[in-house]
Structures are given as structure tokens and as C-alpha cells.
Amino acid sequence: MKTIHSLILLVVAIAFTTTQSSATIRRVNNQGFGANYTNLATCIAASSPNDTIHVEASGVGYGFITLNIPLTIIGPGYFLNENPGLQKNNTPATINNITLNSGASGTLITGIRVADNQAARININASNIRIERCYIEDGITFQNPSDPSTILNNISIKQCYCGGISVPNNGVGPINGLNISNCYFSGVVNISSAGIDEVGNAQGNVTHCVFNTNLNCWSSNMEFKYNIIKGGTFQQNNNSITNVNYNLFVATVMPTWLDIIGNTNKIKSSVADVFPNTTGSTDFKLNVNTIALCPECYMTATNIQTGIFGGIDPYKLSGIPNVPTIYMINAPAQSVQGGTININLSTRSND
């Protein structure tokens, strides 16, 4: 059966090569199921810029990793046991901590579970980074101790289930183009006044997120729109109705600094009216109510849905990465040596 398992994983890798033909694709599996590598750090050290690494499902974490070159790192997703039918194997691929240094500009990380450690976070010290469809237990931090004055450009965080996010006052240059969309945050979100390039031309936006936490954002040039503030407080700082609009506050009263003429934000007092699902997976429960039962959940004359499942690129259950996956396998339990076997695979794309 180990041979069958290895063959199936190879089929997935071959399917992915149809869209990734110019760089090397490597597999790492710390359980020894026929992958190129059993150690993720070793796999990274052997890689060249723009290679792709498939980190395969395992009940054992892959440790702390540091990237100094641009790579694409792909895992199978998370909450897989709660969302049956998305992957045949319901085990995630867990990396305990990820650091992206300046040479890693151009990196994409998707479908990875970052957890099981007191420092279970992604540390971003580089420009042109995409973090998509990941579970990040502790959260995302920005720090560039080698050159704290360097501006970081074009950071995209989308469709993630995350702890918090920290853009501190020091230790990192200002960020020009921080775009956060369709994410859930359970920990404190702190975007400092020194952390955003206020004089740049593309300061960024925060859209279609759900916050069950305190918000401490200091950038009047960042657009904050179509979000749901489920819990915690939203500090005014230098924000106003100019950059904070069309959001839903699950509260009995609107924050005073927004409760003025021209305000486009809404309130709804009951969490159950906004998020009615009491069964289903952890992330499925973040679906908002219908417009008939919660009109406040929808904004503008075109009824744009707030929260992580709204917008043009909504959240994907379990963070299933945008690559082909196997969700069903029919194979014999045993085979005769030298004989043939029939294996039926059910696959899907995950755009």
C-alpha cells in the first residue's frame, strides 16, 4: 500500500506540472512515503529560485524554516476532518514557524498549517509575498532587523484563518501595498502609524475579513471595507469615515467616531443573526445569514456580501490550495506481485 500511496502522490504532482512547467517541483514527506525528501529544511536548501515544494500530509510537524529565495510552498489545507470530501487524506501539513527573509521576494505559501508551537507564526521580512489559504495559529508579524528602514512592497494575505497580525512601530520599514482580504482573525490586529508608507501611492486595503478581536490600525490611507467586526474594539486613531466604510459591527451601538453624518457602516446586535450556523465546520460557521434575515450583512445598492465569503475571490473551506486534489480513491487492499491493479481516482480543481 505504501507503493500505491506513492504512485497516487506522483499523479498529483504530474497534474500540477501542467501549469508549472518551468521550475522544479519537489515533494517532501517526513513519514517516508516515497517523496524526494523527508526533511523540509533539506528540501529548501536543495531548491533553486522559483521552485515549487509540495509539503505532504503528516501528523508530525516540519519544524522551523527560513526562506532566502523565492519559492512556492503548497500544503493540503486545514480543518480537513471537519470538511469531508475535500481531500482523501484529512491530515494537514504543519510547519511550526516560517521566516521569509529579503531574498524570498516573490514567495507564495498556500494550504499550509502553521501551528503547534509558541511561535507558530509567519515572519515577513521581504517584499512581493503572497500568503494564501493558510491556517496561522499565532499570526503574522513583520520584522526586518537587518535593515529596519527598508520599505516592503506588495504584501498579499488572503483567504487565511489567522491569529493576529502585527506591523510594529520599529524593526520594520513601512509597507507600501499591504492587502488583506477574506481572512478571519482571532488575535489582536495592530498596524502601527510607522508601519504603513503614508506617502506611497498604494498603501493597501483590508476587505471582506471577519475580526473577533481588537483592532488597532493607524493608517488613514488604508481602505477598510466590507468587513465584520464580530468582537473587540476598533480604535479610531487616525481613521475616519473616509477610509472606514461599508463594514458591519456586531454591537448594540456604533463606535462614536463613526456615528456621524455620512457614515455607511452598519450595526447588528445579535451574533446569531449574522452567523446563524451552529453546526458544520469551524470555518463554515462564518457564513453570514441571507439578505432576507440579515440585510445589514449586505452593503451598497448592489448588496455586496460582507465577511470572508463575500467579494470576487471568497474564502475557500479548509484553505484548499488552487491545485488539483484527490478526494476519493478506490484501490484494492492487496495486489499480486508482478500483476496489475485498477485504481480509480476522483479529482477536482480548486480555483
At 71, is the pLDDT very low, low, confident or very high (cuts 50, 70, 90)?
Answer: very high
- What's the mean pLDDT when you consider all of the chain? 86
Count of CB atoms situated within 10 Å of the CB of 208: 27
- Whether 279 shows a pLDDT value over 70: the answer reads yes
54-58, 126-130, 235-239, 306-310: which range is least confident on average? 235-239
pLDDT score for 34:
84
Nearest Cα neighbor of 211 from 248, 246, 237 is 248
pLDDT score for 349:
61
55-59, 84-88, 165-169, 306-310: which range is least confident on average? 165-169
48-57, 238-247, 265-274: which range is least confident on average? 238-247
Of residues 147 and 266, which shows the higher confidence score? 266
End-to-end CA distance of the chain: 30
pLDDT tens, position by position, 11-28: 444 444 444 456 899 999
pLDDT score for 267:
97
Nearest Cα neighbor of 182 from 203, 161, 213, 204 is 161
pLDDT tens, position by position, 302-350: 999 999 999 999 999 999 998 766 655 555 666 667 666 666 565 656 6
CA distance 114 to 189: 18
pLDDT tens, position by position, 97-127: 999 999 999 999 999 999 998 899 999 999 9
28, β-bridge pairs = 37, 55
Of residues 297 and 326, which shows the higher confidence score? 297
95-99, 103-107, 161-165, 168-172: which range is least confident on average? 168-172
- Whether 291 shows a pLDDT value over 60: the answer reads yes
At 222, is the pLDDT very low, low, confident or very high (cuts 50, 70, 90)?
Answer: confident
At 33, is the pLDDT very low, low, confident or very high (cuts 50, 70, 90)?
Answer: confident
At 205, is the pLDDT very low, low, confident or very high (cuts 50, 70, 90)?
Answer: very high
Q: State what percent of residues in the chain have pLDDT above 70.
A: 80
Mean pLDDT of 294-305: 97
Cα distances (Å, whole numbers) of residue 60 to 30, 63, 88, 91, 116: 7, 9, 18, 10, 10
pLDDT score for 11:
47
Which run of H or E residues covers position 45?
helix 40-45
Count of CB atoms situated within 10 Å of the CB of 115: 19
- Sheet strands side by side (includes 175-181): 25-28, 52-55, 72-74, 108-110, 129-132, 152-158, 175-181, 204-207, 223-225, 244-245
